[in-house]
Amino acid sequence: MKYLVMVQGAQADYDAMNGKASAHSPAWSEQDLKTMFAHMNAINDDLAESGELVDAQGLVEPGRTRFVSVDDEGRPVVTDGPYGETKEVLAGYWVVDCESLERVTEIAARAASCPQPAGAPEYPVVIRQIDERGGADLLADLG
């Protein structure tokens, strides 16, 4: 079964990783960043070695986000970031192909234990199973 394992963050976290402390998070040192990246890379390496890794990516800060919607006449409406009203966003993810929910939970727990500076906010790591049914199968299940 395939799962999406999502790590969350906020613009303030990205700012902190760039050395700008806030009430939300202390500034990260270069060593803090190296430790965090070593932890995440070790997870990636282990998942690649076990054959469970499908994809893994970190995402740029929310301030570089773009929302695209459609107005009442069907025309695209594009809004660029940053977004003050957005608190937590997807910061990175893994797509893994595991045998069970228990196994992907082990992976998520390892990601959640990522080292960070004291006082940095902690977010849950979110697991979502990927629906691998095709569109016709999904419609048949609904009907």
> Contact, 107 vs 115, CB < 8 A?
no
- As given in the structure block, the two tokens for residue 55 are 């994809």
- As given in the structure block, the two tokens for residue 74 are 């069907």
Question: Rounded distance, CA 18 to CA 30, Å?
Answer: 9
Per DSSP, what are the bridge partners of residue 55? 95
Q: How many structural domains is the chain composed of?
A: 1
Question: Rounded distance, CA 47 to CA 31, Å?
Answer: 24
Read off the pTM. Answer: 0.85
> Contact, 117 vs 35, CB < 8 A?
no
Query: Three-state DSSP class for 124?
Result: coil
Per-residue pLDDT reduced to its tens digit, 31-78? 999 999 999 999 999 999 999 999 999 999 888 888 899 999 999 999
Q: What is the CATH number of the domain that holds 42?
A: 3.30.70.1060
Q: Sorting pLDDT into bands at 50, 70 and 90, what band is 84?
A: low
Domain assignment of residue 138, given as a range: 2-142
Per-residue pLDDT reduced to its tens digit, 104-115? 999 999 999 999
